[in-house]
Structure 1
Amino acid sequence: MSNLKEIYEKSAEFTAFYTGGDIQWTNDGLQMLCLCDEAIKVVEVDTLITSLIIGETEEDAENDQIYTFKISHSNQSIVTAHKSGLIKMWDKETGVQLKIWRSSHKGPVVKLAFDSTDENIASGGSDGNVRLWDVGHNTCTSSLRGAMGVFSVLEYHPDSSKQLVFGAADDTKIRSWCSKTGKEQLVYSGHFSKVTALLFTLDGKYMVSSGRDRVLILWDLNVSKALKVVPVYEGIESCILLPPSFKIPNFNKKLETEGVYVACAGEKGIVKVWNLSMSRLMFEQINSLVSPSTEEGGLSITHLLYNQARNMVSVVTVDHNIIIHDLETFDSVKQMIGFTDEVLDIIFLGKNENHIIVATNSQDLKYYDLETMNCQIVKGHTDIVLSLANFPTKLEMFVSSSKDNSVRLWLQTPNNTIHCLAVGTRHTASVGSVYTSQTSDDFFTSVSQDNCIKVWTVCKPAEKCVEQNLKCSHTELAHQMDINCVAVSPNDKMIATGSQDKTAKIWAEDLTLLGVLKGHRRGVWCVRFSPVDQVVLTSSADSSIKLWSISDLSCLKTFEGHESSVLKVEFISKGQQILSSGADGLLKLWTIKTSESKMSLDNHDGKVWSLAISKNESYIITGGSDSKLVKLKDVTLEQRERRTKEREALILQEQELNNLLHDKKLLKALKLALRMDRPLHVLKIVNEVLKGGSEKLRETLSDISHTQKETLLKFAVEWNTNNKNCHAAQLVFNILAPEIISGNLKVPSLANFIEGALPYTERHFERLTNLLQDLNFITYTVNCMQPHSVIKFK
């Protein structure tokens, strides 16, 4: 039994830090401020640690969602606009709220902007108005009118002496106002769709605007004239002005005499650099990790951020990935996954299992380094990846299946990149599950919503790293409804499938049907072969796990404990135990022999779809619908060692206590018994001390600490419930009461002590009063019975 697991503890947790909306990069390039659900998370770029959360209190999170935010130019403060109509200012370093005021807009505030001095803030609302605020005096200095609809961009002119505010709303016109007088200055008409960005050149002469109407416009600020209208052939969501001196691949800036250089991105998922002055495309990204939008007018990239300190550009995608590129080489230097959505499957990868592959609600795979949690996005599938499986004999090779009706064979290269070896496209519906051969790397199986099971032959890697076509060796119509899962036996001789038709089936390697397992009341979610016995494990939407005999197809055991569908099960401890995860968010550890649940962990807020176990079973990684990855460590040995040490220490203390009692060292014995939390031993010692009188007890108790007195008081309340021990308890109360009344002894839970002691004390008092009355009556009776002088009558 010593090799059985008892407990896994959470050693790390990786949660979402960006769920869409505003995102900003600090001037030093070390942190990103990301809008995540109802709060702002400050994420360290190098370590991916969330160092600060702004607006995370229950009141803020539940009732006052942050709609938009802006960081000041000095990076010292952050201003946020909330659902309640409030505007709040926060200290960026501590997250402390500095100021709060009401926006006075008729609808929500959707855009905020600091002026170059950080002394004034502009708020643009959905009511088409802009309000200007003096931060120092908390006053509204102007209300700027003229725009119609919801603001999409709002910016101060970088030169504070010009005192200009620019904004564009649903009417697609860019307006400028004087920030001092509040009067409208110039209107820039040129866009025919939503304006998405406004940029100003360093010399203050020109403005660049981008829009969903697929053009970039270069404006002369002074006359509101469009100098250049450059068609970019895609809807632009974000653009950045590149610095005067910069380098990008395949472009020699010295050949250009002058120009306004703008990098833009949006619909196509690639970054382009344009010289607006000459209407020329200078650079087009070829190594993009972002998939283009699948819908007309849809988005792929939502933000472009430039950091001058690091000379890097961040690309923020519509599925919440943040990809950081070095501007000079435009190589990807870091990939940050802000929000993984549902985690559908996880596998360990590599000989040392220091990487994991994660399938999320996306067509891209996420390839994580477990030490740093750095991520690489692996592209290949064209629809959501549903299942993953690695080869036990070759841990750097794995298989994936997807909603695009295909399976793919992948290889981890020595330089830690993922390369697709081959593709199989013989299924006619979503491929829900794959499983690899266990004793070789010769084949793998897949099951699909087309109700078929297929066996695929693994091909050898091509010399020129060209994707090959996988060949299917066997196909069988396996079930009458969707097939949810497949598994291969440890000797590769059998295959098991589980389906929505409530059955699991066992097949020979050539897909000859060997038997049907009937007994579940709902669809079967997972099936696994035991690594040592001739048994099969199934889990179902009926909340149960069943163990079946392969030889006679009978159900041997049923494990019940989950409250809803059991989505994943795995054998561990050489087939003696089971790990299961369910739609109730629980991870359970079962011992087969006793049918007992040894452990139940509640680390997830929703369905736990994925459960990956390392080869030596020391680590588990779980993932689910809450976009959370939880790493668990086996601490069974540590816990056993801790229990052993505690037991040894207890034995030594017991021996020491007995020795002190034997030697009549009552004060030391009392202190030790109190430290050991032994009320009966303490009672024994108190009664022993009382043999010398109550004053002796008073002297003894004066030598113990306040903490020990508090423990003694707790024990006394316990003794007081028993008539035999109430005398010692009442004496302890009597001795300690003056100290409590005077304030020398502070008891945090004094009310609980009094509440526990008072009813029994009243009962003892009543009992003793009755006893005293009875004794007095007996005394009177006895006195009456004493012989008196007899009067003789004559």
Structure 2
Amino acid sequence: MWKLTKQHKPCYTGGKITLCKSGEVLLCLNSHAINFVHLATGEVKSSISDSADGFTSYGLSPCESHLLTSCQSGLFKLFQLSNLSSKCIGSFRGHPAITDIVFNVDGSLAASSSSTRVVKVWRIPEGFCTHSFNALEQLPTRLHFHPQLSRLELFACFHDGSIGTWNLQSRRFMALKNHLNSVTNLAFISDDLMVSSGRDKVITLWDLSSYKVKDSFVVYEALEDVSVLQKSSSDDPCQLIVGGRSGILRIFDLNRKSFLKDHPPQCTALGITQILHKFGSSLVVVVTADHNIFVHDRATLERRNVILGNVDEILDIDCFPNADSVAVVMNSSELALFDLCTFQPSLLFGHTAIISCVQVSFDGKFIATGSKDTTIRIWTSQDHRCVVLSQTHGESVSSITWSKKSTKFVITGCKNGTIRMFDTSALKSTSMITMEPTLRIIAHAKDVNTLAVSPNDALVASGSQDRTIKIHSIPNLELKGVLTGHKRSVWKVSFSPVDRVLASSSGDKTVKLWSLDDFSCIKTFEGHTASVLGVRYSMAGTRLISHSADGMIHQWNIHSSELTVLSDSDPDNKVWALSVDPQERYFVSGGSDSCLSLWTDLSKEYEENTNQKADEQIRHEHELTVLMKDSQLRKALLLAIRMEKPRIVLDILSKMVDLSVSTSELSQIWKSLDHESLGRCLSYLQDWNAFHSGSRVAHYVLNALFRAFEAPSLLSFPQFTELGLASLVSYSDRHLVRADTLLRNSQLLDFVCSS
């Protein structure tokens, strides 16, 4: 019995991101929501969502008491914040296509810019527009208020390389020009000094007393963001932290006019888009173009933590054998290693194109990856170093597999239909080596989609786009057999851990079992409604778990062909990858919805709970028999209600009616019941009232209920809704008519007999 116990979901899908004053929480845009993400763990603490009208941007007030959001419809919503909880306190009509929202120093004004080349200033919390600057020549990207409250000035970055500034008192506009390309951000060093970064590879220092360029610094890199790391004083120079398209985080010293060399640069896979830092904090937060969030130490720039904002599509997964960890391929050039207890990731950099496949060695010490950059790499799982590089494929590597009993060889499959074997017996975890294949064969006419090595390391199976499965011997890769029968591409093959049987999944929506003795198909499982993208053995080889392109995960009983549907998600969310823990404690799945799902085997707990409930049921039944025998009807009634035995409850109540137990005593019993038990009795009452033999008890119970509870208390139960009361009344009318007819007939009989 498998149950979904934990998920890693996207927390940031692009756009604005803000670091709170505490330096512990990030505000991240995530599709239609704004998430409060804990910086140390990556956990979403709370969220503000609007599924009907998603958010496009937001602004956080300086005191962090208010959050102003813009919606896709152009509506602005103002939220009051308190301890990561939010409450909408107002809304007003803004303008569409908002790109940025900022507050001034005291939070009384907010400015918004849009892709329609309009900048507006709003009075908060009233929500009326105080200034509107229309028909701008260029598209504004980022906005900043002057840090001094008395200087009501608004600054905007433009794509043409200029910086616009508006004096809100005189409404005078001034353009500051020095950059030759887009200005990406501004940062204030003091009231009269400001720096700007641009994609023209220049940092400009501005004198805001004269609004002229004080100095310019060529940095030979297109910059995307700049932040003041340390303000200048009499003793310390001013330091800036910058980042751009190279993905390298650097510290620039304005006094020396050069980058500091005593801080080692940290590289990321894609360019840096945002840099966040709060004065007094020991952390620097870096956001990259692939929506990853890196937390660095301010002094050394060493990486402390990684938050994967959005992993995109999950293409392949493999579990570690001796640890609760999993290697995940995420439609990027980075390999992610997740701790399944905390979902904390570690990233491995090295490939230059999307990684397509991954597998962990049998002892968990090494990880092998294949990529669209035509290379394979082998990494150490302990210190995440690349120790093997092979560049001999010439085409994308589509599949990879280790030996099942050792680390003596690795076999790879290629997009050109070839299979290569590498001798890794001399593999060391101390130095990096380049490796050539020891054997290469042309196995298929089309892409090799999947590879699997048998448990005894004697055979390797390959599945291809040419709809065939081929079995080769190890170590000479001699062809032993060809399995034909699938009508579409073969996406996954898997050897049984106990039998000479191979399982395969295909684009023809089927899962097949093949005999390795005569290479014939011995069973076909049909039930998926889309391409079956993978299949794995579980439960000591007695079950198959398959996943498909319609978001379904199925479990099959191999002997009885019984189907159990484990997951029935959105049909548009393809489940690309699934891996079963070697100890079969859990399996992990992932797909196009960017969610990494952990499924835990609860069979043992389920069996224990079932046995415990059975023992408890036997004990209660014995106790109930004793109570009935001793005529302890009150205790027997309460026990029968708790055991959910409506027939026994009816029998006990019938005895109480026969013994003329007062309705006041029965009312005390109903008052002692909890809300759930009382609701259960009311549902029994409706059933009893539907037939003649139970109507007497039903009206006896109704009488006691009306004496025990006020009408508002009874109306809270669904049985006393308009529909439920109509059902009770209709049957009660029928019983009363029958009783009235019986009474009149008995009176007539009495009259006839007496006369």
**Pairwise TM-score range, normalised by the shorter structure:** over 0.9
The equivalent of 1:290 in structure 2 is: 268
The equivalent of 1:250 in structure 2 is: none
The alpha-carbon deviation at position 713 of structure 1 amounts to: 3.0
> Is the aligned partner of 1:168 residue 2:137?
no
The alpha-carbon deviation at position 236 of structure 1 amounts to: 1.3
Write out aligned runs for 1:757-768 (5 A): 757-765=728-736
Distance across 2 between alignment mates of 1:66 and 1:627: 20
The equivalent of 2:26 in structure 1 is: 32
The alpha-carbon deviation at position 354 of structure 1 amounts to: 3.5
Asked if 2 retains the 8 angstrom alpha-carbon contact of 1:147 and 1:169, the reply is no
Amino acid at match of 1:231: V
Distance across 2 between alignment mates of 1:566 and 1:291: 32
> Is the aligned partner of 1:243 residue 2:209?
no
Distance change >3 Å, CA 352–CA 483, structure 1 → 2? closer
The equivalent of 2:391 in structure 1 is: 425
Distance across 2 between alignment mates of 1:398 and 1:136: 55
Distance across 2 between alignment mates of 1:507 and 1:386: 23
Distance change >3 Å, CA 745–CA 100, structure 1 → 2? closer
The equivalent of 1:319 in structure 2 is: 290
The alpha-carbon deviation at position 109 of structure 1 amounts to: 2.4
Q: What is the SS of the residue equivalent to 1:669? A: helix
Distance change >3 Å, CA 440–CA 196, structure 1 → 2? same
The alpha-carbon deviation at position 670 of structure 1 amounts to: 1.4
TM-score, normalised via structure 2 length: 0.92
Moved more, 135-144 or 504-513: 135-144
Aligned pair partner of 2:459 in 462, 483, 494 = 494
Asked if 2 retains the 8 angstrom alpha-carbon contact of 1:238 and 1:302, the reply is yes
Amino acid at match of 2:470: K
Aligned pair partner of 1:139 in 128, 131, 134 = 128
Asked if 1 retains the 8 angstrom alpha-carbon contact of 2:231 and 2:237, the reply is no
Amino acid at match of 1:748: F
C-alpha distance after superposition, 1:650-669 (max 9, x if no partner): 11111111111111111221
> Is the aligned partner of 1:615 residue 2:605?
no
Distance across 2 between alignment mates of 1:362 and 1:354: 23
The equivalent of 2:361 in structure 1 is: 391
The equivalent of 1:270 in structure 2 is: 248
Write out aligned runs for 1:627-666 (5 A): 627-666=594-633
Asked if 1 retains the 8 angstrom alpha-carbon contact of 2:463 and 2:470, the reply is yes
C-alpha distance after superposition, 1:517-564 (max 9, x if no partner): 222232211111111111111112222211111112222222233332
Distance across 2 between alignment mates of 1:220 and 1:741: 77
Q: What is the SS of the residue equivalent to 1:161? A: coil
Distance change >3 Å, CA 137–CA 37, structure 1 → 2? closer
Aligned pair partner of 1:97 in 87, 91, 96 = 87
The alpha-carbon deviation at position 464 of structure 1 amounts to: 5.9
Aligned pair partner of 2:472 in 469, 490, 507 = 507
Pairs aligned (count): 747
The equivalent of 1:49 in structure 2 is: 43
Distance change >3 Å, CA 273–CA 475, structure 1 → 2? same
| RMSD between superposed Cα atoms in Å | 2.7
The alpha-carbon deviation at position 425 of structure 1 amounts to: 2.6
Distance change >3 Å, CA 652–CA 471, structure 1 → 2? same
Write out aligned runs for 1:98-113 (5 A): 98-105=88-95, 107-113=96-102
Asked if 1 retains the 8 angstrom alpha-carbon contact of 2:670 and 2:705, the reply is no
Distance across 2 between alignment mates of 1:756 and 1:40: 47
The equivalent of 1:193 in structure 2 is: 181
Distance across 2 between alignment mates of 1:542 and 1:763: 59
The alpha-carbon deviation at position 178 of structure 1 amounts to: 1.7
Distance across 2 between alignment mates of 1:711 and 1:88: 44
Aligned pair partner of 1:330 in 279, 296, 301 = 301
The equivalent of 1:9 in structure 2 is: 3
Distance change >3 Å, CA 742–CA 269, structure 1 → 2? closer
Amino acid at match of 2:685: A
Amino acid at match of 1:656: E
The alpha-carbon deviation at position 302 of structure 1 amounts to: 0.3
The alpha-carbon deviation at position 361 of structure 1 amounts to: 0.6
Distance across 1 between alignment mates of 2:318 and 2:666: 64
Amino acid at match of 2:45: S
Asked if 2 retains the 8 angstrom alpha-carbon contact of 1:301 and 1:318, the reply is yes
Q: What is the SS of the residue equivalent to 1:651? A: helix
The alpha-carbon deviation at position 136 of structure 1 amounts to: 4.6
The equivalent of 1:115 in structure 2 is: 104
Asked if 2 retains the 8 angstrom alpha-carbon contact of 1:270 and 1:286, the reply is no
Amino acid at match of 2:583: N
Moved more, 266-275 or 767-776: 767-776
Distance across 2 between alignment mates of 1:463 and 1:576: 37
C-alpha distance after superposition, 1:719-745 (max 9, x if no partner): 233333333334333443565675564
The equivalent of 2:512 in structure 1 is: 546
* Alignment gaps of 5+ in structure 1: 1-6, 247-252, 293-299, 787-794
Distance change >3 Å, CA 171–CA 383, structure 1 → 2? closer
Distance change >3 Å, CA 114–CA 741, structure 1 → 2? closer
Distance across 2 between alignment mates of 1:143 and 1:99: 24
The alpha-carbon deviation at position 772 of structure 1 amounts to: 6.2
The equivalent of 2:337 in structure 1 is: 367
The equivalent of 1:528 in structure 2 is: 494
C-alpha distance after superposition, 1:217-239 (max 9, x if no partner): 11222222222232222221101
Distance change >3 Å, CA 343–CA 290, structure 1 → 2? same
Distance across 1 between alignment mates of 2:3 and 2:402: 29
Distance change >3 Å, CA 761–CA 524, structure 1 → 2? farther
Aligned pair partner of 1:587 in 548, 553, 557 = 553
Write out aligned runs for 1:195-214 (5 A): 195-202=183-190, 204-214=191-201
Asked if 2 retains the 8 angstrom alpha-carbon contact of 1:85 and 1:102, the reply is no
The alpha-carbon deviation at position 442 of structure 1 amounts to: 1.0
Q: What is the SS of the residue equivalent to 2:385? A: strand
Aligned pair partner of 2:680 in 700, 707, 711 = 711
Asked if 2 retains the 8 angstrom alpha-carbon contact of 1:236 and 1:265, the reply is yes
Distance across 2 between alignment mates of 1:178 and 1:104: 22
Asked if 2 retains the 8 angstrom alpha-carbon contact of 1:271 and 1:285, the reply is no
Amino acid at match of 1:191: H
The alpha-carbon deviation at position 433 of structure 1 amounts to: 1.2
Asked if 2 retains the 8 angstrom alpha-carbon contact of 1:272 and 1:284, the reply is no
The equivalent of 1:22 in structure 2 is: 16
Aligned pair partner of 1:400 in 358, 369, 387 = 369
Asked if 1 retains the 8 angstrom alpha-carbon contact of 2:242 and 2:275, the reply is yes
Distance across 2 between alignment mates of 1:234 and 1:456: 41
Moved more, 399-408 or 484-493: 399-408
Distance across 1 between alignment mates of 2:657 and 2:46: 58
Asked if 1 retains the 8 angstrom alpha-carbon contact of 2:229 and 2:279, the reply is no
Distance across 2 between alignment mates of 1:111 and 1:748: 50
The alpha-carbon deviation at position 128 of structure 1 amounts to: 3.1
Aligned pair partner of 2:326 in 339, 356, 373 = 356
Distance change >3 Å, CA 745–CA 113, structure 1 → 2? closer
Amino acid at match of 2:31: D
Distance across 1 between alignment mates of 2:277 and 2:304: 14
Asked if 1 retains the 8 angstrom alpha-carbon contact of 2:232 and 2:238, the reply is no
Asked if 2 retains the 8 angstrom alpha-carbon contact of 1:228 and 1:279, the reply is no
The equivalent of 1:720 in structure 2 is: 689
Amino acid at match of 1:263: I
